[in-house]
Structure 1
Amino acid sequence: MNTIALFGNPNTGKTSLFNKLTRSYASVGNWAGVTVEKKVGTLRDKSALLVDLPGAYSLHPLSLDEGVTSQFLIDEPPASLINIVDASQLERNLYLTVQLLEYGCPMVIGLNMIDVARGRGIFIDEQRLSAELKVPVLPIIARSGQGTDALLQQLVDLPSKDNKTKRSFRLDYGLIVEDTLLTLAAAIQPTLPERTPQYVRWVALQLIEGNPVVEQYAYSLLSPDWIGQQLESCCTRLAADSEDSTPAEYLRRIRTQWITHLYNLTADHSRAGSRTLTEKVDAVLTHPLFGIPIFLFMMFAIFKLTFDWAGNLLADQIDALIAGPVSSGATSLLQLLGASTFTQGLIVDGMIAGVGGVLVFMPQIAILFLMISLVEDSGYMARITLLMDRMMEYVGLNGKAFIPFIIGFGCNVPAVMAARTIEQRRERLLTILLVPLMSCSARLPVYTLFAGVFFARHQAIVVMILYVLGMVVALGLARLLSNSPLFAREKSFFLVELPPYRVPQPLSLFRNTWEKVKGFLHKAGTIILAGSVAIWLLSHLGMQGYGVDMDHSFLAAIGGVFAPLLDPIGFGTWQAVAALLTGFMAKEVVVSTMNIIYHAPTIEGLGAQLSHAFTALQAFSFMVFVLLYTPCLATVSVIRKETQSWKWAGFSILYAVLIAYILALLIYQLGRLLGYT
């Protein structure tokens, strides 16, 4: 089956188009950096595979995710390309288009967001643009699906890659560059007899431009020293003949001049307004004085809705359902089937109680996911990174690092992967190591349980404090680590796409929220279920066999080993230690463990028992420790994958435990000195 590759600048609607053409679902957001690795789907007509690649402004990669695009063109040459461009930002988007045209593969251009462009008074002559570029150009609105059927049909009608009669696109780069291109192409062509001359010319162009991915590819074909000599000669001749300091700057100038000419030929922006609605809203939301307070107020409103206004009511209903009909029904059925006491206890008190104790908090998690999706789809996410850039720069990062931090509020695993969008290696590594300090949704059941018991009147405020605390600790550590010898300073720059504000689509919000909730439910049916079974068995097995008192079980013995270490921070009991140890699998398992240990039929009953086991000060210290201590197993695994080092994965565990202990110790001991209990 043929492969069609989908290219475009960040936030031009690639993933929305991918979903429409394949009838699949991939995460969509109105901000740059949603796609950090390629996604593959089958076209609706089953004619080809469609590959959605990370957004890139150029084939010259500045970050790891952008490197995927160039590598794909070399390793997996597609049968054809789709280049989706933003009609309201056409001139900027055309730079990547030129590079793709030079690749020499059959291509169709999807002129997306034509509604946004027309709303700004910008009108594109699609036919003239198509004639100049020598490829089909189709106006579309990817979010709604308008024009996607025509685009799909155009893909079927595209000429094959081997069609020699197809008109090829070519820019004239002047005598010096063209001579170098001929020399390089003549040497490369015999090593790639199956590739077209235009592809070979593209490889030579990318070499001159300094594309590191193509350089490694070319070095496998020809002598690096010979290539270096040709490029040095080109650079010397250009320096003497033009004002550009490097061949890459020269190529950019030639392309940019041609693109400006093309844009003036094909775009009418004489009716463009002086100030758009987005610019007017940004004057308030990104204001240097009011921007951050508005962001904090928005966060508080989200937590208020999640924990005080809607979440608790729904959670109580689910708790009543699990503790009542589900548990009693399962007990009756097992008794009817003649199941042993052991089997009944394992299923009802282990599986149902353990998993059910976490599912109770699903409404709060779903509401929080919905609110985060709303922020993403509206376009506000990119503005938050802009607001935070000055603060991030002060601590040794840049505003783009804030995007993985925000994603980490949902789940730390995709947040770590989102750090691929950061260009500088040092800042990328720092971000990866600090992301686990963000309060992911897996910690929400712990917060909701303890805040509901000990801080019932101020749940939203307490949970918001924990979220902000995670951010503050991460920024403080960034400042500390960025000045250490481990993280040598690099030249840094901040580039972020500010998309227009859009009214979020209900279907997109529902899908985005459902995908995240589905991930939570999947975890409940796998990791949390397995953890609940293991915890129940350990709590009922001891040296004397099955049925021992829980205080003499293997679980109590394991927890008792570490309990004295946690006594100075307020919760030196084997029950608390056991819950924390199992939380390494997934933070939700902390609640499952407590539900099984305290044998509570309902969350209300568990809360009543916790109110006797903890004081308010101990409870807050416990929540802070859960916020900061070791990342879950899945996060540690993805840190190892992204850093290619077990050293950094181990460091992420050790420093987090140390920071969690120190901060919990300060909170508990200072609280005692001040007379809090």
Structure 2
Amino acid sequence: MDTVINIALAGNPNAGKTTLFNYLTGLRQHVGNYPGITVEHIQGCCLHNQQGLSIVDLPGTYSLTAYSSEELVARDYLINEKPQIVINIVDASNLERNLYLTCQFLELGIPLVIALNMIDVAENRGLLVDAEKLSEILKVPVVPIVARSGKGVDHLLDTVIAATQSGVTPEPAFLRYGSDIDEALSEMVPIINKHALLTDIYPARWTGVKLLENDEQVYEKSTAVNPEATQELKKYCAQVTGHLQQTAGVYPEAVIADHRYGFIKSIMRQHIVTEKFVGDRLYTSDRIDKIVTHRVLGPLIMASILFGLYAFTFSSSTFLVELFASFFALLSSTVDSVLADGPLKSMLISGVIDGVGGVLGFVPIIMFMFFGIAILEDSGYLARVAFMMDRIFHAFGLHGSSVMPFIISGGIAGGCAVPGVMATRTLRSPKERMATLLTVPFMNCGAKLPVLTLLIGAFFADHQARYMFLATVISWIVALCAAKFLRMTVLRGESTPFVMELPPYRFPTINGLVIHTWERTWQYIKKAGTVILGISVLLWAMMTYPGLPEDQVTSFAQKRQQIIQQSDQPASEPTTKALHALNAEQAAAGLRHSIAGRIGIALEPASQLAGIDWRTNIALLGGFAAKEVIISTLGTAYSIGDIATEEPTSLTRRLASDPAWNPVVALAVLLFIMFYAPCFVTVICIAKESGSWKWAFFSMAFNTAFAFIMAVTVYQIGMLLNLG
């Protein structure tokens, strides 16, 4: 086999890039982080005609500007990692829009093969694309494909291999930007070449274009090479900007974008696309959208789909959840019978099995939830949710693009606040960005779902889907109200307009659904086996040590001896129960005397206002590290101090039978967990993205105070109405 060829897949969002990647690599993928940034990338491999191909799936992006993390990641990877060839996935049914990114690839002189995807969708819309003519004009290979079915993919890979083996280095494309910009570039390019400003990584003309576009990253790199020359160019760019503002009322970046689209239109006018029929015909997606994005029907359909998602999740996962619970109960019982009493046995049962096992017990629910979300996402429906929510977001002072960070953070279900916070980078308005960044942690992320499922399953088992649906609705309402409050107080300002393109509907592929479901489920399992395991053991230690004073240990030993001596049959059932009760009493006393127990008890005077006892306080403190830890800590706390049963039981049953809990307490705790301080990683991310730790601390304090007020209100009203 020849040397492996390194390939990058690039293209607009919803152009079918990930579908092609999944088709090529299947499960031969791994997830990592791009150098210097926490945005994930997926890398995979495949074999074609005995030629090994290493493929990186770049983030979907509309351009190579420096406005968002996705754009920066894509650009930096292409420049720094220098893949041997880039496959640019272009949506044949939206050719004009997709070619904007292609133009920038051509300007960079990147080795390129265009994959003209979704030609079947284009044909259904009556559009015939002349791939050969497009290839002739752009001077790069253009291969029609249908990524979801694999049609044309073999030909695409043949073309890629041939292009890499040809040894031809493409020349950067020379685009005209009008007299003002072109004249400016003619002055700037000699200066850039003279001082070798980034000429080792960028074409000189492209560097000039980026400086005129006021690209911060390019300015930083140029300044690092030659501050004096960069300052000279910056002054010249300011003169050009001033001239364009006076004469045309526009900025250079707008002129450059207009001329790129002009270049694309000149291509389109050369009969690249032929319409088989014209008229007022509505495409299938448009017909569906007239119903699912209707002002009245749309939200009702969205609510029905969301409720159906939860109903499907809980009804489909019940058997597996019970199976997992039985397995961990058996494992706990086995360890209990094999090992002698002592710290090791306690750690394994209370710290590892009851802690991590409680989290892993929800894997079936998480898996089915992610599967349902993957269907909604891959079909194109989530984009419709964002479109519909935009109408509401403006009323709360947010930009329509804030919808996606909310959804990513768990606005539908199972997201994560960290990428949600990072997704706010695409927002241009600083105040809208900050309001979004501070409120996305209110969403029900994947870490909160198992906790909510635990409480709902324990106290509202007959209406699980209904309560999970209500929890999602409440999270949206609270997040939007909090955003409105922030926009009316510390973050005043007008909201900016929103434009969004809706991708066509598609049937999700089984391969894509399996991969997306497995990736997210595996991340959850890994977290349980690493972060949560470590925290669970640490919290077990805090709930075990320093242990009871010697005099209390002696007192319990004497009581134990008295029970045995007073019984005619030491192995009888009454004696066994009495000993078990005494052991549980000693364990509960030890928990109270532990470091964590003392902290929980110290907080109890305040937490009791919301019906929260000291053992739950310990779990909520652990939730600051990671929300999943709440389950593992509850499992440990109620395992150590369990006085209700002799045999190992599930945490759900322990809570349901514990006198400190009732439905009103469960609702109060549920609301507190939904809205109190974000996990530690999210707090760090907020500090990094906002540029200040004051906003991170504000988020912790504001969220916790708000959550506590809600929990106290619900508990006090519930108990007043005697609902407990």
Q: What TM-score do you get using the length of structure 2 for normalisation?
A: 0.83
Q: CA RMSD in A?
A: 3.1
Match of 1:230 among 227, 236, 245: 236
Equivalent runs, 1:357-396 vs 2, <5 Å: 357-396=358-397
Equivalent runs, 1:78-227 vs 2, <5 Å: 79-158=84-163, 169-192=173-196, 195=199, 199-220=203-224, 221=226, 223-227=229-233
1:618 matched to 2:653? The reply is: no
Q: Deviations over 1:23-57 (max 9, x none)?
A: 54479xxxxxxx99462636536877644433332
Q: Deviations over 1:580-628 (max 9, x none)?
A: 1122222222222222222262227734654422122112111111111
Q: Distance in 1 between matches of 2:137 and 2:55?
A: 26
* Partner in structure 2 of residue 299 of structure 1: 306
Q: How has the CA–CA distance of structure 1 residues 210 and 6 changed in structure 2, closer, same or farther, with 3 Å as cutoff?
A: farther
Match of 1:320 among 320, 326, 331: 326
Instruction: Give the 3-state SS of the residue equivalent to 1:626 in structure 2.
Output: helix
Q: Deviations over 1:40-88 (max 9, x none)?
A: 6365368776444333323334434323344555555555433221111
Instruction: Give the 3-state SS of the residue equivalent to 2:269 in structure 1.
Output: helix
Q: Distance in 2 between matches of 1:570 and 1:129?
A: 69
Q: How has the CA–CA distance of structure 1 residues 424 and 141 changed in structure 2, closer, same or farther, with 3 Å as cutoff?
A: farther
Q: How has the CA–CA distance of structure 1 residues 628 and 97 changed in structure 2, closer, same or farther, with 3 Å as cutoff?
A: same
Q: Distance in 1 between matches of 2:241 and 2:453?
A: 62
| Comparing 543-552 and 80-89, the one that deviates more | 543-552
User: What's the offset of the Cα at 1:268?
Assistant: 1.1
Instruction: Give the 3-state SS of the residue equivalent to 1:138 in structure 2.
Output: strand
* Partner in structure 2 of residue 570 of structure 1: 611
User: What's the offset of the Cα at 1:360?
Assistant: 2.3
1:670 matched to 2:712? The reply is: no
* Partner in structure 1 of residue 701 of structure 2: 654
* Partner in structure 1 of residue 287 of structure 2: 280
The aligned length equals 660
- Contact kept, 8 Å, 1:60 with 1:212, in 2: the verdict is no
* Partner in structure 1 of residue 509 of structure 2: 505
- Contact kept, 8 Å, 1:350 with 1:536, in 2: the verdict is yes
Q: How has the CA–CA distance of structure 1 residues 502 and 75 changed in structure 2, closer, same or farther, with 3 Å as cutoff?
A: same
Match of 2:418 among 410, 413, 419: 413
| Comparing 111-120 and 539-548, the one that deviates more | 539-548
Q: Where do 5+ consecutive residues of structure 1 fail to align?
A: 28-34
Higher Cα Rg: structure 1 or 2?
2
* Partner in structure 2 of residue 529 of structure 1: 533
Q: How has the CA–CA distance of structure 1 residues 37 and 341 changed in structure 2, closer, same or farther, with 3 Å as cutoff?
A: closer
Q: Deviations over 1:394-418 (max 9, x none)?
A: 1121222122222222122332233
1:7 matched to 2:7? The reply is: no
Q: Distance in 1 between matches of 2:72 and 2:495?
A: 19
Q: Deviations over 1:415-443 (max 9, x none)?
A: 22333333333323322221111112322
* Partner in structure 2 of residue 32 of structure 1: none
User: What's the offset of the Cα at 1:10?
Assistant: 2.1
Q: Distance in 1 between matches of 2:609 and 2:185?
A: 70
| Comparing 100-109 and 417-426, the one that deviates more | 417-426
Q: Distance in 2 between matches of 1:607 and 1:38?
A: 39
- Contact kept, 8 Å, 2:67 with 2:425, in 1: the verdict is no
- Contact kept, 8 Å, 2:128 with 2:276, in 1: the verdict is no
* Partner in structure 2 of residue 263 of structure 1: 268
User: What's the offset of the Cα at 1:322?
Assistant: 2.0
User: What's the offset of the Cα at 1:559?
Assistant: 0.9
Q: Where do 5+ consecutive residues of structure 2 fail to align?
A: 32-36, 554-582, 643-647
Q: How has the CA–CA distance of structure 1 residues 674 and 106 changed in structure 2, closer, same or farther, with 3 Å as cutoff?
A: same
Q: Distance in 2 between matches of 1:543 and 1:62?
A: 58
Instruction: Give the 3-state SS of the residue equivalent to 1:108 in structure 2.
Output: strand
Q: What TM-score do you get using the length of structure 1 for normalisation?
A: 0.89
* Partner in structure 2 of residue 586 of structure 1: 626
Higher relative contact order (CA 8 A, sep 6+): 1
Amino acid at match of 1:347: L
Instruction: Give the 3-state SS of the residue equivalent to 2:282 in structure 1.
Output: coil
Q: How has the CA–CA distance of structure 1 residues 634 and 236 changed in structure 2, closer, same or farther, with 3 Å as cutoff?
A: closer
Instruction: Give the 3-state SS of the residue equivalent to 1:169 in structure 2.
Output: coil
Q: How has the CA–CA distance of structure 1 residues 518 and 78 changed in structure 2, closer, same or farther, with 3 Å as cutoff?
A: closer
Q: Deviations over 1:211-268 (max 9, x none)?
A: 443344445545355324533554577679x867444343333332331231132111
- Contact kept, 8 Å, 2:30 with 2:43, in 1: the verdict is no
Q: How has the CA–CA distance of structure 1 residues 596 and 72 changed in structure 2, closer, same or farther, with 3 Å as cutoff?
A: closer
User: What's the offset of the Cα at 1:361?
Assistant: 2.2
User: What's the offset of the Cα at 1:303?
Assistant: 1.9
Match of 1:636 among 670, 683, 690: 683
* Partner in structure 1 of residue 569 of structure 2: none
* Partner in structure 1 of residue 482 of structure 2: 477
Q: How has the CA–CA distance of structure 1 residues 302 and 482 changed in structure 2, closer, same or farther, with 3 Å as cutoff?
A: same
Instruction: Give the 3-state SS of the residue equivalent to 1:397 in structure 2.
Output: coil
| Comparing 166-175 and 133-142, the one that deviates more | 166-175
Q: Deviations over 1:63-114 (max 9, x none)?
A: 3432334455555555543322111100111122122211223222121122
* Partner in structure 1 of residue 19 of structure 2: 16
Q: How has the CA–CA distance of structure 1 residues 358 and 195 changed in structure 2, closer, same or farther, with 3 Å as cutoff?
A: closer
Instruction: Give the 3-state SS of the residue equivalent to 1:423 in structure 2.
Output: coil
Amino acid at match of 2:361: V
Q: Distance in 2 between matches of 1:509 and 1:209?
A: 40
User: What's the offset of the Cα at 1:550?
Assistant: 2.3
Q: Distance in 1 between matches of 2:452 and 2:243?
A: 65
User: What's the offset of the Cα at 1:180?
Assistant: 2.3
Q: How has the CA–CA distance of structure 1 residues 347 and 137 changed in structure 2, closer, same or farther, with 3 Å as cutoff?
A: same
Q: How has the CA–CA distance of structure 1 residues 184 and 6 changed in structure 2, closer, same or farther, with 3 Å as cutoff?
A: farther
Instruction: Give the 3-state SS of the residue equivalent to 1:612 in structure 2.
Output: coil
- Contact kept, 8 Å, 1:527 with 1:585, in 2: the verdict is no
